[in-house]
Amino acid sequence: MADKPLPPILDHDPGEATVFHPANLIEASRQQKNLPPCRVPEGCLLDFDGELLEALVSTGRAMHDPGWPCFHTRLYRWKTGRNEYGVIGGTIGAPFAVLVAEELFSCGCQALVSLGSAGLISQDLQPPFFLLIERSLRDEGTSYHYLPAAPFAAADQEALNRVQAGLDNAGITLVRAATWTTDAPFRETPTRIDFCRSQAIAAVEMEAAALLAFASATKRKVVCLSQVTNRMAQGPKDFDKGGQGGLESAIRLCEAALRALLAA
pLDDT digits (tens, 9 = 90+) for 167-221: 999 999 999 999 999 999 999 999 999 999 999 999 999 999 999 999 999 999 9
Q: Does position 1 have pLDDT exceeding 60, yes or no?
A: no
What are the sequence ranges of the domains in the chain? 34-263
Q: How far apart are CA 129 and CA 107, in angstroms?
A: 32
> Residue 240: which pLDDT band, with cuts at 50, 70 and 90?
low
Confidence of residue 229 (pLDDT cuts 50, 70, 90): confident
Of 118, 94, 98, nearest in space to 106 by CA: 98
Instruction: Report pTM.
Output: 0.94
CATH class of 34-263: alpha beta
**What pLDDT sits at residue 230?**
76
CA–CA distance, 188 with 68 (Å, rounded to integer): 36
Instruction: Enumerate the β-bridge partners of residue 154.
Output: 135
Give the strand pairing for 111-120 and 201-205.
Answer: antiparallel
**How far from the centroid of its chain's Cα atoms is residue 4's Cα?**
35
Task: Determine contact, residues 181/139, Cβ cutoff 8 Å.
Answer: yes
Pair 201, 137: CB distance under 8 Å: yes
**124-155 pLDDT, tens per residue?**
998 889 999 999 999 999 999 999 999 999 99
